[in-house]
Amino acid sequence: MPSLSVFMDVPAAQKVDGSLLKTYQQDEDTNKVFLAYRVCMTNESDPWVSGVVHKIRQQIAQDPSLNYEYLPSKGMKSFIQASLELLFGKHSQAIMENRVGGVHTVGDSGAFQLGAQFLRIWSRGAQVACIISSQKEPHGLIFKDLDYEVYEYSIWDPDQLCLDPILFLNVVEHLPQGSVLVIGNIIDCKLTQVQWAKLMYTIKSRQIFPFFDFPCQGLNTGDLEEEAIILQYFVSQGLEFFCSQSLSQNFGIYDEGVGLLVVVTLNNQHLLCVLSQLMNCIQVLWLSPPAMGARIITSVLCNPALLGEWKQSLKDAVEGMILIKEKVKEKLRLLGTPGSWNHITEQTGTHGYLGLNNQQVDYLIKQKHIYIPSNSRINFTCINTHNIDYITESINEAVLLAKDSQSGFPKSTHSYLE
């Protein structure tokens, strides 16, 4: 008599992503293009890697002093210190006061897993997590798994074709007392000084706990310091917060997923207590973090010559992004494509919205074999000298052939994350 499987009642999970890529991979059309890769790409359609990484990998491989022992649960001390200084500056008052610390985490989402678990245990009022970003993030799944009530908002305004600071503030104002506010990579959301003050007041008065996502410092504008201003502003206002600092993308070591859970507290005593409890969580989650990615990053950040070379590689990559966006906008202008396309160059970073509606996205996918997400937020580094003409001509066709009866630039239907 055959025994019954203990897994017989386990259904297949609904796919959360990847279906677009799978459809692309099965497509046999020779002109097919995929514009939704997560990583920064080169003109040759390869993942971008900072040049210094190859040098350091070779040095590490030839270093006879390495013993490859497990790292401490907290992670590599030199890596943590160098990463914190990258965020807040070497002469940060908060670092000198020992009220800023960090824990070396696993992958791009390990910091969120660790931080969310800590807050669920030690912040009794934290039962709601609101995720505000410019794109769909995986963080919601982490908080849902820990029984948070999760709300996700996109602050992209499809009418004005920009990130909307008013929507950002309105969402925060209506959060329940003691909620966790996950703030995604929203560097293009420009708040005025008055709006910043209003945001600070709301967060403090409603005891909201900010949890930042900081995935690719330097790959948005090429200016490491400028991109960290928002975090430094929160520190200067005396706010406590967590920050997921991912360092894989801005070095191009995607297979070495490495990051930091940054902890900012009011004083050193609080910091030590938080870090001690995080150590208990780590014993359950992963015990010891991987070392290779941390070694590569630390070697660069602690060597002035290599640091300068890495910074230049970031600037070069950003200049390439800016150039391709300018070319896309100019080609659409020359083709006479209806509407203004200034929003393409006004967005920073690898990813940005095209501002297309459902009909136009469907046309690109089904008729032109150009695969983009339904909200038309693409990775601009996937566009290169080999495919830019085909892509821009196809966008022009999509706008002309699939536009609705409205005059002017067709409006997207996407105001919330899908």
Domains in the chain with CATH codes:
19-38+308-402 (3.90.1150.10), 53-305 (3.40.640.10)
- Those residues whose C-beta lies under 8 Å from the C-beta of residue 313, and which sit 6 or more positions away, are 50, 51, 52
Residue type, position 204, single letter: K
pLDDT over threshold 60, residue 404:
no
Rounded Cα gap, residues 180 and 241, in angstroms: 10
In Å, what is the CA distance from 251 to each residue of 40, 258, 289?
10, 11, 18
CB 261 within 8 Å of CB 115:
yes
Tokens at 42, concatenated: 């080169």
Tokens at 18, concatenated: 């990847």
pLDDT over threshold 50, residue 414:
no
Rounded Cα gap, residues 193 and 208, in angstroms: 20
pLDDT over threshold 70, residue 5:
yes
- Those residues whose C-beta lies under 8 Å from the C-beta of residue 84, and which sit 6 or more positions away, are 92, 95, 100, 101, 102, 260, 262
The pLDDT of residue 67 is 84
Rounded Cα gap, residues 204 and 239, in angstroms: 8
CB 263 within 8 Å of CB 101:
yes
CB 100 within 8 Å of CB 92:
yes
* φ/ψ (deg, to 5) at 370: -105, 115
Which candidate, 260, 274, 264, places its Cα nearest to that of 79?
Answer: 260
pLDDT tens per residue, range 341-359: 999 999 999 999 999 999 9
Give the pLDDT mean for 402-416. 43
pLDDT over threshold 90, residue 415:
no
Rounded Cα gap, residues 293 and 271, in angstroms: 25
pLDDT over threshold 70, residue 100:
yes
Rounded Cα gap, residues 392 and 414, in angstroms: 22
CB 214 within 8 Å of CB 259:
no
The pLDDT of residue 351 is 94
Three-state DSSP class for residue 62? coil
pLDDT tens per residue, range 222-280: 999 999 998 999 999 999 999 999 999 999 999 888 999 999 999 999 999 999 999 99
Q: What is the pTM of this model?
A: 0.90
pLDDT tens per residue, range 48-61: 999 999 999 999 98
Residue in the block written with tokens 């706010």 = 239
Mean pLDDT score of the chain = 90
Q: Counting every residue, how long is the chain?
A: 418
Rounded Cα gap, residues 337 and 339, in angstroms: 7
Which of 163-177, 192-206, 355-369, 404-418 is the least confident region? 404-418
pLDDT over threshold 80, residue 104:
yes
Helix, strand, coil percent content, the chain, rounded in steps of 5? 45, 15, 40
pLDDT over threshold 60, residue 22:
yes
The pLDDT of residue 257 is 86
Q: Looking at per-residue confidence, does 98 or 125 come out higher?
A: 98
User: Bridge-partner residues for 211, per DSSP?
Assistant: 182, 242
Which candidate, 192, 135, 241, 188, places its Cα nearest to that of 348?
Answer: 188
Give the pLDDT mean for 170-183. 93
pLDDT over threshold 50, residue 91:
yes
Residue in the block written with tokens 């020359």 = 334
In Å, what is the CA distance from 45 to each residue of 28, 39, 41, 245?
18, 11, 6, 26
DSSP track, 351-418: EEE----HHHHHHHHHTT-EE--TT-EEEGGG--TTTHHHHHHHHHHHHHHH--S-SSSPPPS--S--
Highest mean pLDDT: which range of 69-73, 153-157, 332-336: 332-336
The pLDDT of residue 154 is 87
Which candidate, 256, 288, 267, places its Cα nearest to that of 73?
Answer: 288
DSSP track, 2-14: PPPPTTTT-PPPP
Q: Looking at per-residue confidence, does 403 or 77 come out higher?
A: 77
pLDDT tens per residue, range 241-253: 999 999 999 999 9
The pLDDT of residue 17 is 58
pLDDT over threshold 60, residue 418:
no
Give how far the C-alpha of residue 379 lies from the chain's centroid of Cα atoms, to the nearest Å: 12
The pLDDT of residue 125 is 67
The pLDDT of residue 416 is 36
Tokens at 38, concatenated: 């997560």
pLDDT over threshold 80, residue 25:
yes
pLDDT over threshold 70, residue 413:
no
pLDDT tens per residue, range 73-82: 999 999 999 9
Confidence of residue 1 (pLDDT cuts 50, 70, 90): low
Rounded Cα gap, residues 209 and 265, in angstroms: 11
The pLDDT of residue 126 is 75
Tokens at 236, concatenated: 């200067």
Rounded Cα gap, residues 30 and 132, in angstroms: 38
